[in-house]
Each structure stands twice: as structure tokens, then as C-alpha cells.
Amino acid sequence: MEAPFEATSWDGITGAFYTGATSAEWIWIVLCLLCIAVAIVGGWRHEKHAYEAAEKEAK
């Protein structure tokens, strides 16, 4: 991923540059969102199982 300008120092660079706009960054974003979804579902299932086990043990 190269910068969209030819410069040897930051002296001549002004403004904001986002070099990831044309890359496959969206793949990493989707993978991160999938990991978050898996963590949420996994945590929810674990908590449900733990709650049911504690409820059964309390009886």
C-alpha cells in the first residue's frame, strides 16, 4: 500500500491522506465484525448454560 504522492519528507505534504481507500480493507472489517458476532453469540450461549446450571443447582 503506497502513498498517493511522491515526496521524500513530510514538509510538502498538506491535508489528510487515506491510503487504505482502494485496498481490500473491507475484508478485515468484515472479519472483525464476524469475530465480534461470534464472541457475542458464544458469550450469550455460555451465560445461558451457566444460568440454567446454577438455577438447577439451587433447586
Within a domain: 3: no
Per-residue pLDDT reduced to its tens digit, 1-15: 466 667 777 777 777
- Number of folded domains in the chain? 1
* Confidence tier at 19 by pLDDT (50, 70, 90): low
Within a domain: 44: yes
Per-residue pLDDT reduced to its tens digit, 39-48: 999 999 999 9
Those residues with Cβ within 8 angstroms of residue 17's Cβ, 6 or more apart along the chain or in another chain: 3, 4, 5
Threshold 0.75, pTM exceeds: no
Q: Domain containing 49: what range?
A: 24-58
Element (H, E) at 54: helix 25-58
